[in-house]
Structure 1
Amino acid sequence: MKKTVAIDMDNVIADIETNWINLYEQEFGVRVDKKDLLGKPEDFAFPDPDKARSLLYKPGFFRNAPLMAGAVEALKEIQKDFEIYIVSAAMEFPNSLLEKHDWLAEHFPFISWKNIIFCGDKSVISTDFLIDDHLKNLDFHKGMPILFTAGHNINVNKHTRVNNWTEAVALLKENIEVV
């Protein structure tokens, strides 16, 4: 039986940071540099956090996010040895459910709808591994939590960290028999 891996969407396979920066500039005429996001809660990295947060509720925000570099190839590779589940806490933003579904269908058609979980609280997820960018999800994971580097978590020294999909694939392969 294959080991199981839960994989977050935002800032793990979908480049929400880049999308947010681009939309903020488009909507409000202010360009934020990606390095300005380092070590800050996501919306507070922008000059006007309320305006930044409002973008999360705009139609298209989640649907039009670019892919994280190497994500498609990595998930295809991981899927050879692991059962993959895409897990996203999508309930907070009403538009995100359909948009995330459609985004996954476009970019990851090889992942079955049966392996996509939209929820409000990831603590109910019980896989062997969880790859996520937020401690609120990783801290309660029953398997091996893997922190995927994002601007907001750059100063976090908790959990095993991967900086990209090449590192994530290597770590999973190293730990295929451990959990």
Structure 2
Amino acid sequence: MSGDNNTFSRAVKTVAIDVDSVLADVMLVWADEYNMRRNAKITKQDIIRWDIPTVLPITPEDVYKYFSHVWKSRWREIPPTEPGIGAVTKRIHRKGYRISIITKRERPTVAYVAKWLDMHKVFADDLLFIYDAVPKANYPFDVLIDDAPKNIIDVVKPKSAILFNQPWNRDFDWPIRVSSLSEAEEKLL
């Protein structure tokens, strides 16, 4: 192989982006589902801790049952966290980043998440669906954008993480926070 610099491309960095509450504002529809089933009047803002059963009278099993139902039956109603979310992912890619969508979920919801991503024209180089308890920090990425403190707490240099602001992570101390994917895009060099 020649020593010509043009034969080597620069290393491409990967941005791993979570789906629930980073791309898809699923908790708006989840809260609506909770209200319909429980004759309640909660909002996403009322969910102030990631561990929902510590905030609402609901079992962990029912939390997952509601999430699965929302993704399987109401996925078209789930809004993006900001208008034009697909265009934002394309801009991040054009900046030279690989986009890895990384999401922990129940297997029956996978097809609906993929349909949602297509419907909102979310750009991705790959989709990674996690079914087990392996921490997201163990997966290959340079930057993780996630709303769950439990997913970013184990991210260590040279990797980094951006916390996506949500009501359930307001009390979590993290140096890099954003309120939109567009804001995260600005922080990516």
TM-score range, shorter chain: 0.7 to 0.9
Between the aligned residues of both structures, percent identity stands at 25
SS at match of 1:157: coil
What is aligned with 2:100? 85
Instruction: Specify whether residues 109 and 152 from structure 1 end up closer, same or farther in structure 2 by C-alpha distance, changes over 3 A only.
Output: closer
Alignment of 1:1-179 (within 5 A): 1=10, 2-39=12-49, 41-49=51-59, 51-58=62-69, 60=72, 63-64=75-76, 65-70=78-83, 71-81=85-95, 82-90=97-105, 93-108=106-121, 110-112=123-125, 115-119=126-130, 120=132, 121=134, 122-142=136-156, 143-172=159-188, 176=189
Instruction: Give, in whole Å, the separation in 2 of the partners of 1:131 and 1:123.
Output: 11
TM-score computed with the length of structure 1 as normaliser: 0.81
- How many residues in Structure 1 have an aligned counterpart in Structure 2? 169
TM-score computed with the length of structure 2 as normaliser: 0.77
Q: Which has the larger radius of gyration?
A: 2
Instruction: Give, in whole Å, the separation in 1 of the partners of 2:174 and 2:123.
Output: 32
Instruction: Specify whether residues 98 and 24 from structure 1 end up closer, same or farther in structure 2 by C-alpha distance, changes over 3 A only.
Output: same
Q: Is the 8 A contact 2:15 2:100 kept in 1?
A: yes
Instruction: Give, in whole Å, the separation in 2 of the partners of 1:41 and 1:68.
Output: 21
Instruction: Specify whether residues 43 and 61 from structure 1 end up closer, same or farther in structure 2 by C-alpha distance, changes over 3 A only.
Output: farther
Q: Is the 8 A contact 1:43 1:53 kept in 2?
A: no
CA RMSD of aligned residues (A): 2.3
Q: Is the 8 A contact 2:165 2:178 kept in 1?
A: yes
